[in-house]
Amino acid sequence: MKIFFYPPFKPLDHPNPSGDLVTARGLVEYLQSRGHEVTAASRLRTRWMYWKPGMLPQIRAEKRRVLDLAASEKPDLWLTYHSYYKAPDLLGPGVCKALNLPYAIFQGIYSTKHKRRIKTMPGFHLNRLALKAADHIFANRREDLKNLRRLIAPSRLSYIRPGIKPGLFAFDEEARVELRKQWGAEDKPVVLSAAMFRADVKTQGLLWVIRACGILKNQGLPFKLAIAGDGRERRRIEQAAEESLGEDFILLGKIPRDHMNRVYSAGDVFAFPGFNETLGMVYLEAQSCGLPIVACHNGGIPEVMIHGRTGFLTPLGDLGAYVNAMKDLLVNPEKRAEMGARAASYVRSRHDLDCNYSNMEDILNRCIREHYERQG
């Protein structure tokens, strides 16, 4: 297939990492590995663009440019990644209609609550137009699939389980020994956490983990907290950790994704609550390296782990329950080893990207065939 690929929320080479960007890149890499030609249709970011009327000429100019490019390149399919009310696809529907191209969306989101709010109403309707124009929509969360069924016929919807490449996140014994020695944690368990230090739920989640660790330290538990990530809130996080943990923490800085398996391998428990987490690819990565998870029960996290088997999900906002779950794993090395082994097996059997995306690939091929059959 010759595919025009477009992520309205941010371009593939955006410097700030996120779970959505990881998924988008993984999607493109999979398609390319299968021999398909994937072209970035546009770098236009549409986030809240409908409240920026001064950018309307830019949108029109970009649409003309993409139309000319598509007419010249003659793609078989347009594939948009992640169209939702904040960043609706403003290009795909018009280009595909003008050139009679099959149009698919991966991770389309539909939520009617946004049509009742003035701030989000335009984005809701623009996104709704894109969803209704699509030949097929893929959802990687069951809640999204349920919501999409209120608008889209079941025959145009598919659930694709989220995935990673487990081979890229395999346990590394040498890295474990090396890093734990660097961290001064050879003889104590390591609680690992990872997130960008943004002034939002990411930093709130890290502060939550630090509070939980502070309570556990006051109870006399020996451990070290290691946090991977960086950003504007670094000093705030560092101060909170110093106050709660003294010297029993280390900030690792921003770690390239292809080195994260080394960091996961050096940990014993992965703790991050994941407030408002859409999915949380970090949980799949950590589990793949053999780490049990402690997170809060919300968003898409229950779709990427099994409570009581590969880790613990605690009630959202219940710090006491979160502390108890962490303590259970820290004081029971056999339990965390068993959960970690199940976690790695779970990711390999249920969340292997290549296996899960093969179904999507078949459906995209079918979309192309059926689209042109309908055209006669």
Query: DSSP letters of 206-248?
Result: HHHHHHHHHHHHHTT---EEEEEB-STTHHHHHHHHHHHHTTS
144 and 269, same domain (yes or no): no
Q: Is the predicted pLDDT of residue 36 greater than 90, yes or no?
A: yes
Query: CB neighbours (10 Å) of residue 37?
Result: 13
Instruction: Specify the number of domains making up the chain.
Output: 2
Q: Is the pLDDT of residue 256 over 80?
A: yes
End-to-end CA distance of the chain: 20
Own/partner pairs, 198-202, CB within 8 angstroms, 24+ separation = 198/231, 198/232, 198/233, 199/232, 199/233, 201/275, 201/276, 201/277, 202/229, 202/231
User: Is residue 376 scored above 80 in pLDDT?
Assistant: no
Same domain for 144 and 22, yes or no, is yes
Q: What is the pTM of this model?
A: 0.90
Instruction: Based on the fold, state whether residues 116 and 177 are members of the same structural domain.
Output: no
Asked if residue 198 and residue 50 are part of one domain, the reply reads: no
Per residue in 115-130, pLDDT (tens digit) is 888 899 999 999 999 9
Residue 374 has pLDDT above 90, yes or no: no
Percent residues over pLDDT 90 in the chain: 89
AA identity, residue 312: F
Q: Do 200 and 275 have their domain in common? A: yes
Q: What confidence score (pLDDT) does residue 127 get?
A: 97
21 lies in the same domain as 109: yes
* pLDDT tens-digit series, residues 145-187: 999 999 999 999 999 999 999 999 999 999 999 999 999 998 8
Residue 372 predicted with pLDDT over 90: no
Q: Would you state the pLDDT for residue 136?
A: 97
Residues 156 and 177 in one domain: no
Least confident of 44-53, 94-103, 144-153: 44-53
At 19, the pLDDT band (50, 70, 90 cuts) reads confident
Dump pLDDT digits (tens) for 198-229.
Answer: 999 999 999 999 999 999 999 999 999 999 99
Average pLDDT, rounded, for the chain: 95
Range of the domain at 285: 166-350
Q: What residues contact residue 354 under an 8 Å CB cut-off, 6+ apart?
A: 30, 33, 163, 165
Asked if 111 contacts 36 with a C-beta cutoff of 8 angstroms, the reply is no
> In this structure, are 131 and 181 located in the same domain?
no
Q: Are residues 283 and 332 in the same domain?
A: yes
The answer on pLDDT for 44 being more than 90 is: yes
**pLDDT tens digit sequence for 336-364:** 999 999 999 999 999 999 999 999 999 99
pLDDT confidence of residue 68 = 96
Q: Are 150 and 210 within one domain?
A: no
* One domain, residues 196 and 239: yes
Rounded CA-CA distance 78/364 in Å is: 10
Domain CATH number, residue 229: 3.40.50.2000
76 and 172 housed in the same domain: no
